């Protein structure tokens, strides 16, 4: 059986004031009427139904997941220990019901422009992973020399049309320098690692047994022991702990308008051309209002800004300042009054 | 006896979203913990007490005046008919109790930097008006060639120190051209007309009897007739209807940091250097937040803006766009949803 595993444990400080400690980015309706988490599940719904959807999240967010994805199987981590632990727990949980499962692991906070195209590639990747019994991942064809992502090096360049078959992965590259990123993009053999994995359960189980046996032991133990054993794990990402060590990994290229929605600048880019509600403008150009709740926003003679609207805080910034939001949140934490807003 | 007459009928569209149809500029705490109306009464309180304070306002605002200036005598106009009608009504009302009164008439929506200096000049003007039994006004010494104000031409130039005695008024000048304004300011004989009058009741009564007898009749009639007779009056300002026709008018120069608080730009100038509440900034320069209620305002990498904060609308604009606020309000009036915000 096919299972969808959504990783939904992120905290999203860069999206304040829309995201709060109690409601991070993946639970927000940033791009439409459905949250990023819901859009992630919706996108895979034609391939895997809700009864086979596992969401790994923090304890604080379990109720939000149940509200947004009713009928899903929620694994609420007592504390965040990075993605290797999350995927191991999902694998152990699914293994207890379906030892022959195929796991589709996706992050919960990204955007995809072309859902049908995504389904087509994912479907091919699932068939390939099942047939070849190899851990497989989707590699996003890069559109710019981004230095903030990890890259996947394919053994051979892939044509744009070649979606049905995977190619072997030669190596993983951590966040590169600008120069190296430009060379990688130019070569045609490198892809962004967007954390989308298709994993035959037996393969990933064997990999955990070999490289992260403590993690597997923690998530497979009795429920009495679980919380403290889980908390005692060192945080390791699935990429570093498993994928970079595995020798037989396939990749399928993805070319479907993927975006990591990493900042308000990205959200503004994705919302471009949409008319926000409850806004009144006079000579306003290139200003994006993000957030449906809160006061009307009125502007006169403005350009090149992002306005983030919530009922109790309104943030104004040029889009290229989006990375500085985290520092602003830290500044708020310095006062009791400000801390209440986080 | 001395009586204070405050004219508080203005509507203040230029101050949206802070001012609303139900709460115009004079009732707002624009510059401190007291509204402009309260500041006006406070400023005169050492000279005239609350029991001798008459506030002329619109029916819609009578409750607000009673709330902000409890104990004052509120005259609620059924409809606005400009300042001649307002002053005539106040004169008739006061005359019924004190035919020998001296009226100090002030607008309700201006700012004065130096209250003690204002009291000194007003006190001198009251003594002069009483002694000479002449209608007297305060002329603001101009600090720039403003084309939006009316000017008072004094018969002779006055020295800065000469506050005790008035000078005779030669003429009134309506809003001038830029060129003429520059010449007037340079001459030292012209002052801004800020609508501040000191009026022996017998003199102003005689003037109304002569030049606006219909107005006097309307406000002196029976209460049954009052509403429709008042509404039937043509709107005329006190300046045009009475002062410009009077031949014996004195002026005392006022040099006390007067500001008409005519726009958000003026408010921003007056608030300069004060720290607003509930704001979090990162690299923000020359940005003024006006309005204490409503959401936190957060900004990153901004300069030269005014942010006007209310619970249901936030306006963002460069200060020099303040005159365009009225057009924005008219735009809001075009939709039902927008109209609810006005």
pLDDT for the residue A6: 98
Q: How confident is the model at residue A161 (pLDDT cuts 50, 70, 90)?
A: very low
- Main-chain dihedrals φ then ψ at residue A127, nearest 5 degrees: -65, -45
pLDDT for the residue A222: 82
Q: How confident is the model at residue B257 (pLDDT cuts 50, 70, 90)?
A: very high
Same domain, B254 and B270: no
User: Per CB distance under 8 Å, which residues of B are interface residues toward A?
Assistant: 17, 278, 280, 282-283, 294-302, 305, 307, 309-318, 321, 324-325, 327-328, 331-332, 337-338, 341
pLDDT for the residue B189: 93
**Domain boundary pick from A226, A259, A292:** A259
Q: How confident is the model at residue B220 (pLDDT cuts 50, 70, 90)?
A: very high
User: What are the pLDDT digits (tens) for A34-69?
Assistant: 999 999 999 999 999 899 999 999 999 999 999 999
User: What CATH number is attached to the domain comprising B203?
Assistant: 3.90.550.10
Q: Strands A279-290 and A296-309, how do they pair?
A: parallel
Cα A27–Cα A32–Cα A38 angle in degrees, nearest 5: 40
Same domain, A333 and A234: no
User: What are the pLDDT digits (tens) for B185-204?
Assistant: 999 999 999 999 999 999 99
User: How close A54 gets to chain B, by Cα (Å)?
Assistant: 37
| Closest CA relative to residue A89, chosen from A208, A203, A234, A249 | A208
Q: What is the pTM of this model?
A: 0.88
Same domain, B181 and B296: no
Based on the structure, what is the number of domains in chain B? 2
**Domain boundary pick from A199, A224, A259:** A259
- Which of A8-17, A125-134, B42-51, B157-166 has the lowest average pLDDT? B157-166
Q: How confident is the model at residue B163 (pLDDT cuts 50, 70, 90)?
A: low
Interchain CB contacts (distance < 8 Å): A and B: 105
User: What are the pLDDT digits (tens) for A271-314?
Assistant: 988 888 999 999 999 999 999 999 999 999 999 999 999 999 99
Q: Is the pLDDT of residue B103 over 50?
A: yes
Same domain, B268 and B252: no
Q: Tell me the CA distances in angstroms from B206 to A210, A277, B29, B236, one per residue in order.
A: 106, 58, 38, 17
Same domain, A77 and A202: yes
Percent of chain A with pLDDT over 70: 98
Same domain, B220 and B118: yes
Cβ(A30)–Cβ(A289) under 8 Å? no
- Main-chain dihedrals φ then ψ at residue A17, nearest 5 degrees: -90, 5
Mean pLDDT of chain A: 94
Sign of CA dihedral A73, A79, A82, A87: negative
Q: Which helix (H) or strand (E) holds A102?
A: strand A102-107
User: How close A314 gets to chain B, by Cα (Å)?
Assistant: 5
User: How close A14 gets to chain B, by Cα (Å)?
Assistant: 13
Cα(B195)–Cα(A135) distance, integer angstroms: 83
Same domain, A233 and A276: no
**Domain boundary pick from B259, B292, B318:** B259
User: What are the pLDDT digits (tens) for A228-262?
Assistant: 999 999 999 999 999 999 989 999 999 999 999 99
Cα(A22)–Cα(B15) distance, integer angstroms: 37
Cross-chain Cβ contact A300/B321 below 8 Å: yes
Q: How confident is the model at residue A224 (pLDDT cuts 50, 70, 90)?
A: confident
User: What are the pLDDT digits (tens) for A97-128?
Assistant: 999 999 999 999 999 999 999 999 999 999 99
Q: How confident is the model at residue A163 (pLDDT cuts 50, 70, 90)?
A: low
Same domain, B115 and B229: yes
Same domain, A241 and A273: no
Same domain, A230 and A272: no
Best residue of B13, B298, B302, B313 to probe chain A, by most A CBs closer than 10 Å: B298
Q: Which helix (H) or strand (E) holds A250?
A: strand A249-254
Cβ(A128)–Cβ(A252) under 8 Å? yes
Q: Tell me the CA distances in angstroms from B215 to B121, B242, B286, one per residue in order.
A: 31, 11, 48
Q: Which residue of B has its CA nearest to A311?
A: B295
- Which of A175-179, B140-144, B239-243, B270-274 has the lowest average pLDDT? B270-274
**Cβ neighbours of A13 in B, within 8 Å:** none
Q: Which residue of B has its CA nearest to A312?
A: B295
- Which of A5-14, A187-196, B42-51, B138-147 has the lowest average pLDDT? A5-14
Strand, coil or helix: A209: helix
The mean per-residue pLDDT over the stretch B102-106 comes to 98
Same domain, B111 and B19: yes
**Cβ neighbours of A295 in B, within 8 Å:** 294-295, 310-314
Q: How confident is the model at residue B165 (pLDDT cuts 50, 70, 90)?
A: confident
pLDDT for the residue B74: 98
Percent of chain A with pLDDT over 90: 89
User: What are the pLDDT digits (tens) for B112-160?
Assistant: 999 999 999 999 999 999 999 999 999 999 999 999 999 999 998 765 4
User: How close B194 gets to chain A, by Cα (Å)?
Assistant: 29
Strand, coil or helix: A272: coil
Q: Is the pLDDT of residue A152 over 60?
A: yes
Percent of chain B with pLDDT over 90: 89
pLDDT for the residue B164: 65
Best residue of A281, A315, A316, A321 to probe chain B, by most B CBs closer than 10 Å: A316
Residues 6+ apart with CB under 8 A from B49: none
Range of the domain at B161: 2-259
**ipTM over cut 0.90:** no
Q: Which residue of B has its CA nearest to A295?
A: B312
Same domain, A158 and A223: yes
pLDDT for the residue B161: 45
A59 alpha-carbon distance from chain centroid? 18
């Amino acid at each position: 059986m096919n299972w969808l595993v959504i990783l939904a444990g992120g905290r999203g400080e860069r999206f304040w004031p829309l995201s709060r400690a109690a409601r991070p980015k993946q639970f927000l309706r940033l791009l439409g009427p459905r949250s990023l988490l819901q859009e992630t599940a919706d996108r895979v719904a034609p391939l895997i139904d809700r009864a086979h959807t596992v969401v790994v999240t923090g304890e604080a967010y379990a109720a939000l997941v149940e509200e947004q994805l009713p009928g899903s199987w929620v694994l609420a981590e007592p504390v965040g220990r990075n993605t290797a632990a999350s995927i191991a727990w999902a694998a152990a949980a699914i293994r207890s019901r379906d030892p022959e499962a195929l796991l589709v692991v996706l992050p919960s906070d990204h955007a995809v422009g072309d859902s049908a195209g995504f389904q087509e590639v994912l479907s091919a990747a699932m068939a390939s992973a099942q047939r070849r019994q190899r851990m497989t991942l989707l590699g996003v064809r890069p559109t710019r020399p981004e230095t903030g992502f990890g890259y996947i090096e394919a053994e051979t360049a892939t044509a744009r049309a070649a979606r049905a078959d995977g190619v072997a992965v030669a190596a993983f590259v951590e966040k590169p320098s600008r120069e190296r990123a430009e060379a990688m993009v130019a070569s045609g053999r490198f892809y962004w690692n967007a954390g989308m994995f298709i994993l035959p359960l037996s393969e990933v189980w064997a990999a955990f047994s070999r490289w992260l046996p403590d993690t597997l032991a923690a998530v497979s133990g009795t429920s009495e022991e679980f919380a403290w054993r889980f908390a005692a794990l060192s945080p390791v990402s699935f990429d570093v702990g498993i994928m970079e060590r595995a020798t037989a990994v396939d990749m399928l290229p993805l070319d479907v308008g993927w975006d990591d929605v990493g900042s308000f600048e990205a959200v503004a880019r994705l919302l471009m051309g949409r008319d926000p509600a409850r806004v009144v403008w006079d000579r306003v150009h290139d200003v994006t209002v993000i957030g449906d709740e809160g006061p009307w926003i009125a502007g006169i003679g403005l350009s090149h800004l992002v306005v983030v609207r919530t009922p109790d805080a309104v943030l104004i910034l040029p889009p290229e300042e989006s990375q500085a939001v985290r520092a602003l949140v830290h500044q708020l934490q310095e006062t009791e009054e400000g801390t209440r807003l986080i």
